Structures are given as C-alpha cells and as structure tokens.
Amino acid sequence: MIPIPSLWLPILVSAALVFVVSSVLHMVFKYHHKEYRRLPDEDAMLNSFHEAGLTPGLYHFPHCATPKEMNEPEVAKKFERGPVGFVTVMPSGLPNMTKFLIQWFLYTVLVGIFIAYIAGRTHAAGTSYLSIFRFVGTIAFMTYGLSEIVSSVWKGAPWSATGKMMFDGLAYALVTAGAFGWLWP
C-alpha cells in the first residue's frame, strides 16, 4: 500500500501532461470547432434571451416541473412542435479563460489524486511499468473518456461530438498512465 503523498509527483506530472495535451488538441487540431453551431438569427435570439431575463443556470425546454406534466396534451404538443433542448447560460461578459483553465488543471489534479488513491491501495512499490500503465490507464479512461457518454445519453449531444471527446479522454488516459508508470515508486 502506497500513501497518496508518496505519489505527489505522478499526480502533478500527469495533470500537467493532460493540461498540455488538451491544449494541443483544442488549439492546434481544432476538430471540436465544428461541434458548435451558430443560432439562427443570433442577434434576435440573444435579444429575446436578454429580454426574458435569463440568469446564469441550466434550462430545459419545454420545461416540466414534474414528470406528470408530460402527459398533459398542451405540454405534449410543445414537445412535438419543438424544439426540445437544454441551454446553459453563463454570466455575461467575455469568457474568463484563465478561470476555466485553472479549474481544468485543478480537475486533472483531482483525477490524479483519486487515481493515486486507487492505484496506491492495489499496487505495491516496485510494480512494473506496464502493470501500472494498464491499471491507471483504464481508470483514467473511465474518468476522462467514458464520462462523456452521459452528454449524448441525457443531453442530446451528437454522438460524433461524444466520440471526439472520448478520443481526447483516451489521449489524457495514455499520458496519465505513462506518468504514473514512469514515476511509480
């Protein structure tokens, strides 16, 4: 059993590598850019959102406060007429990329801590690189890759977008596994 503090180096190195790889995937290859489309008549839509007083939060439309409401004929007509969807409204102003990047890095550190906990409880010091690589890689892919499926299942994200995010998750898992395997005590 290896305590988490003994694994601080692979935690931080894997977080830094995931951060760099994600930056390359999103800024150099840009294959995610086609996933996001412009609203039709964007100015009119933004004005209607503004006039409606939307505040930051998650919105679902048509909205039903209870599942029972879905059986009401007027609600069913709204669903059939469409559109049906989810909207995330963020605070007004330019996106604060520094804040997003710090939160992303902290998330990768948190993932590393949980991976270190699980791997440290199940593998001894001196375990081979390949054993650590396979074990950590599997956990990291479950975290970074498989978690993306939820967006397609429950939020209607296109499966093509989820597939790309899962590819990203595989890349993050591989560098995480490599860092832990390389720096395993």
pLDDT for res 114: 98
The pLDDT tens digits of the residues spanning 23-82 come to 999 999 988 888 888 999 999 999 999 999 999 999 999 998 898 898 899 998 999 999
Report pLDDT digits (tens) over 138-169: 999 999 999 999 999 999 999 999 999 999 99
Q: In this predicted structure, what is the pLDDT of residue 150?
A: 96
At residue 56, what are phi and psi to the nearest 5 degrees? -55, 135
pTM above 0.85, yes or no: yes
Asked if 141 and 173 count as a contact pair (C-beta separation under 8 A), the reply is yes
Q: What does the alpha-carbon distance between residue 34 and residue 115 come to, in Å, rounded to a whole number?
A: 32
Q: Where are the domains of the chain?
A: 8-56+94-183, 57-90
Calculate Rg over the CA atoms of the chain: 21
Question: Token pair of 75, please?
Answer: 């609600």
Non-local CB neighbours of 5 within 8 Å, separated by 6+ positions: none
- Taking CB atoms within 8 Å and a gap of at least 24, the contacts of 151-155 are 155/86
pLDDT at residue 116, as a whole number: 98
pLDDT, one tens digit per residue, over 97-142 is 999 999 999 999 999 999 999 999 999 999 999 999 999 999 999 9
Least Cα distance to 31 among 171, 170, 164 occurs for: 164
- Rounded CA-CA distance 25/168 in Å is 7
